[in-house]
Structure 1
Amino acid sequence: MHKHAQASGWQTFEATAYTAYCAEGCTGTTATGLDVSHTIYHGGKRIIAVDPSVIALGSTVEVRQADGTTFEAVAQDVGGAIKGAKIDVLVANEADAVQFGRQSVQVRVIN
């Protein structure tokens, strides 16, 4: 039984990065229908893919990276490999994805 991430509590997630286009036929459209072919933001917030049984689609979250920097993101996408305590952060290009790599982050649901 999964429980939804509790509002206000920080939880540890594994974060990776993805781009709108990839060899596997990514379309540039998120699961919620956003066109991300020309942006990595929605309403001024970063776009992330989540496991909707852990973080509900449409949720706004705060992400704190290992170096202490934080950013707000909105859960607008899902991914086959994104199960459980994982998020996938939309980035502009492959080089940014490689630079982001795989990291442990703290995530809390704002609303």
Structure 2
Amino acid sequence: MVAPNAQIWRQQAIEATKENEELRKKNAELVEAIDRLNETAWQPFEATAYTAFCDTGCIGVTKTGIDVRNKTHHNGLRVIATDPTVIPLWSIVELRFADGSTERAIAVDTGGAIKGRRIDYLINSHQGALKFGRQQVSVKIIERGAK
């Protein structure tokens, strides 16, 4: 025997399912919009410095093939190494240092120790890299590179 209201309940269930699907879609769109806003907001990162040559196999060529043996900038932007899952390669970012100064940089390198919210800042000398040390910086993505 079928319940007298079975047809009504079935229709209500179908309508509720459609409403849930629409809400899930709207929620996904909102989450994506928030992620885009967060990407362009200032985010805290730890910055270290590196040079084109080191004792562990550095060859002076970035992950993207840019020769940095005699330069620290590419197309007028400071070269940085990033975790490409956080800041994709070819992204242009703005760095804000503790003293309030800012600099634009381009993510064209990666590093084995660069995981999460860390960047490696290309410096032209070992002494300069030591002087740079480890710093807290703020990073804002200006133009997102390809993942």
The interval holding the TM-score normalised by the smaller chain is: over 0.9
How far the C-alpha of 1:8 sits from its partner, in A, is 2.0
Give the letter for the 2:47 counterpart.
A
Root-mean-square deviation (Å): 1.5
Q: Partner of 1:110 in structure 2?
A: 142
* Higher RCO (CA 8 Å, separation ≥ 6 residues): 1
5+ long unaligned stretches in structure 1: none
Matched position secondary structure for 2:40: coil
Taking structure 2 as the reference length, the TM-score comes to: 0.71
Q: Partner of 2:59 in structure 1?
A: 27
Q: Contact 1:6–1:108 at 8 Å: present in 2 too?
A: no
Identity across the alignment (%)? 52
5+ long unaligned stretches in structure 2: 1-34
Taking structure 1 as the reference length, the TM-score comes to: 0.94
State whether structure 2 residue 96 is matched by structure 1 residue 80.
no
Structure of larger gyration radius: 2
Q: Contact 1:30–1:77 at 8 Å: present in 2 too?
A: yes
- Residue number among 31, 39, 45 corresponding to 1:13 in the alignment: 45
Q: Using the alignment, how far apart are the partners of 2:136 and 2:39 within structure 1?
A: 19
Matched position secondary structure for 1:24: coil
Which structure's residues are more often helix, by fraction? 2
Distance 1:33 1:4, change over 3 A: farther
Q: Partner of 1:49 in structure 2?
A: 81
Distance 1:5 1:17, change over 3 A: farther
Matched position secondary structure for 1:68: coil
How far the C-alpha of 1:25 sits from its partner, in A, is 1.4
Q: Contact 1:4–1:55 at 8 Å: present in 2 too?
A: no
How far the C-alpha of 1:21 sits from its partner, in A, is 0.2
Number of residue-to-residue matches in the alignment:
109
Which structure's residues are more often strand, by fraction? 1
Distance 1:4 1:87, change over 3 A: farther
